[in-house]
Amino acid sequence: MKITGFRFCILLFLSSLGTACHTPRESVKAKALSENDRLNLEYLFYNGTKEKILGNGEVAAGLFIQCLNIDPNNDASMYEIAQIYAMHGNNREALPFIKNAARLKSGNIWYQQFYAEVLVKNNMHSEAAGVYEALLKKYPDNPEFYYDLASALTSAGRISEAIAVYDKLESYAGISQEVVLQKERLYLRLGKVDKAAAEIQKLIETSPGEVRYYGMLAELYQANNMNEKALETFQKAREKDPENPYVHLSLADYYRASGEKEKSFSELKEAFSSTRLEVETKINILASYFVLVGKYPELKNQSSELVQILIRIHPREAKGYAIYGDFLYKDKKYEEARKQYRQSLQLDKNNFLVWQQLLLIESALMDFSAMYSESEEAIALFPSQPLAFFFNGVAKMQEKKYEEAVLVLNAGLKLVVDNNALLAQFYASLGDAYFKLKKMKESDDAFDKSLVLDPKNTYVLNNYAYYLSLRNDSLEKAERMSLLSNQIETTNTSFQDTYGWILYKMGKYSGAKTWLEKALANEGQKSAVILEHYGDLLYKTGEGEKAIDYWMKAKQAGPASEFLDRKILEKKLIE
């Protein structure tokens, strides 16, 4: 094991003195220092202190060791070395030095305190208690030593003695919440619930107007299955302050634990109806409902009632409308959720998470005009948030502003950090935008980058494959991608059509027929594109009359290719 310079100096010193410095029962016999030694000692000690202040622990320790070489009983140097050890977490090594310093100068309060602290850090709690007892005899008016002694006794498992110390402190300083709570905790460790309750009762008697002490006592009873006493105490608290929301919250917890759900919810509503209960507390309670509603649907009505109380009591609080929007969004009530998010943003535009939810809703509603304007505003407010750029790019695509979409998507792309899923979406949208601009190389590059980040993105696999098929380019690659998208999503009509169409383009008519018929059986009869594709296949395989029938069906179903009318008119395949 490597020995640092500091440790090496210490070891040299200990070996030179035998057991002088680390054996508490002995010390090197004091000898008068020459004037030269005294001056050297002062010089070394001064420089050691300076180096310690500068953070040069090893250098400082070496200088203090030299002090001990001159004067082995120099308690100040022992104290400094112990502190350096302790600062570096070496409490075991610090112990013999501070122990000797404390013995040599038993009247030095700082030595004694530090000695006790090092004993505690070495889990020598009973020994530390002995030091604190000695300090308390010398300084009976110092309340800190009562706490330190009681803590050491508690850690040593001497609980009754620790309680006795707190009793002495109370007789000296009077009843305080801190001491009472410590004694309550210790009595509970001893299993003496009645005595623990009596401690809280002292607080009630001292401050009868402080309702929270009743709550503390009631919760103590409740935790120890003394439900009748708990309820009685809660009711006393309510009598003292009927409008106190925290009493109602405590009663709500009590009734819920007792299985009285209606009473519990009634108390919770009382708490929510109070302006004295912070909005954040109400939001946190609703957040817990947000998780539980999925597991317990019967809580949905409760959450709706609570959130509406929140909004009624705090009509200018943006977070209330936002969390209401969250509940509505979870329930797929998008129009209603949008209304709440917009109300939230009217009160506070600086919460990007609300903007994010609003833009997600616009996407779900396919309201791209609203998405366009709202994402523009979000970008202005949050120019470093890539998601705002993404939604703006998507909206511009839908508005057929492809050049602008490319610009904004590329700008947002540069803002993405440690989010490969979002990065893949940016590249996918860029692939679509470049395709619309007939920039095929840029489109292919963007799709390839998207698939590197997310190889199983079915949307990209399908679109990229279909775009390649339209160009009769890299059809084998298109076939692989389209097949994978169908293996991942086995019932997607559009994906089935794409795969069938690629097989058709490759001249694999039998396979194409199988997949296009799958698409037709899976709601494909409503798609003009799928009907036209099947008509093209029929024409290629010699079923011209039947092909015309499907082209006619495609025309009735909606917009299809630019050649459809000519196919019907000329009764032949036009590509």
Give the separation between CA 520 and CA 69, rounded to whole angstroms: 97
Residue 258 class from Cβ within 10 Å (0-12 exposed, 13-18 middle, 19+ buried)? middle
- Encode pLDDT of 430-483 as tens digits: 999 999 999 999 999 999 999 999 999 999 999 999 999 999 999 999 999 999
pLDDT score at 252: 94
pLDDT score at 559: 83
- Encode pLDDT of 287-338 as tens digits: 999 988 878 888 999 999 999 999 999 999 999 999 999 999 999 999 999 9
Give the separation between CA 183 and CA 190, rounded to whole angstroms: 11
Q: Is 401 helix (H, G, I), strand (E, B) or coil?
A: coil
A 10 A CB-CB count for 1 gives: 3
User: What residues contact 221, with CB distance under 8 A and at least 6 apart?
Assistant: 197, 227, 229, 230, 233
How many angstroms separate the first and last alpha carbons of the chain?
81
Is the CB of residue 84 less than 8 Å from the CB of residue 57?
yes
C-alpha radius of gyration, the chain, whole number = 40
Which residue, among 306, 324, 318, has the nearest Cα to 269 in the 3D structure? 306
Give the separation between CA 522 and CA 520, rounded to whole angstroms: 5
Which residues in the chain show pLDDT less than 50? 1-26
Is the CB of residue 270 less than 8 Å from the CB of residue 241?
no
Biggest distance spanned by C-alpha atoms of the chain: 125
- Encode pLDDT of 8-27 as tens digits: 344 444 433 333 343 333 45
Alpha-carbon torsion angle 511, 513, 517, 518, nearest 10: 10
Domains of the chain: 361-440 (1.25.40.10), 456-522 (1.25.40.10), 528-575 (no CATH)
Reading the block at residue 304, the tokens are 């709706």
- Encode pLDDT of 21-69 as tens digits: 433 334 556 678 999 999 999 999 999 999 999 999 999 999 999 999 9
DSSP-derived letter for residue 572 is S
- Confidence (pTM): 0.74
Helices 475-488 and 493-505: angle between axes, nearest 10 degrees: 160
Give the separation between CA 317 and CA 399, rounded to whole angstroms: 35
Give the separation between CA 311 and CA 315, rounded to whole angstroms: 5
Residues shown for the chain: 575
Give the separation between CA 255 and CA 235, rounded to whole angstroms: 12
